[in-house]
């Protein structure tokens, strides 16, 4: 299986469906990518579908929730 990213490529991931982080691909084997965080120490192993080629593409994948009132009472209609 040939991956979308090669060792040394820059990619973006979405964490907790809220934050976009830039990473560097360190290795790829069996559809799993080992990536290193560029803004801190450490890394993580992810599947192909969790990596995005651009920041805009990653931001577009974030699921937006509907705005709800901060506090409701039983008397609200």
CATH architecture, domain defined by 10-60:
Roll (2.30)
Domain boundaries, the chain: 10-60
pTM of the model: 0.78
Buried b (16+ CB within 10 A) or exposed e, 21-35: bebbbeebeeeebbb
Place 74 in a pLDDT band, splitting at 50, 70 and 90: confident
Give the tens place of pLDDT for each residue, 29-60. Answer: 988 999 999 988 899 999 999 999 999 999 99
Q: What pLDDT is recorded for position 2? A: 58
Pairing of strands 10-15, 43-47: unpaired
């Amino acid at each position: 299986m040939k991956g979308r990213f090669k060792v040394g490529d820059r990619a973006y991931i979405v964490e907790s469906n809220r934050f976009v982080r830039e990473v560097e691909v360190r290795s790829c084997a069996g559809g799993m990518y080992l990536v290193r965080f560029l803004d801190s120490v450490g890394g993580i192993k992810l599947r192909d579908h969790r990596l995005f080629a651009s920041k805009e593409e990653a931001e577009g994948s974030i699921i937006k929730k509907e705005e709800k009132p901060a506090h409701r009472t039983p008397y609200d209609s």
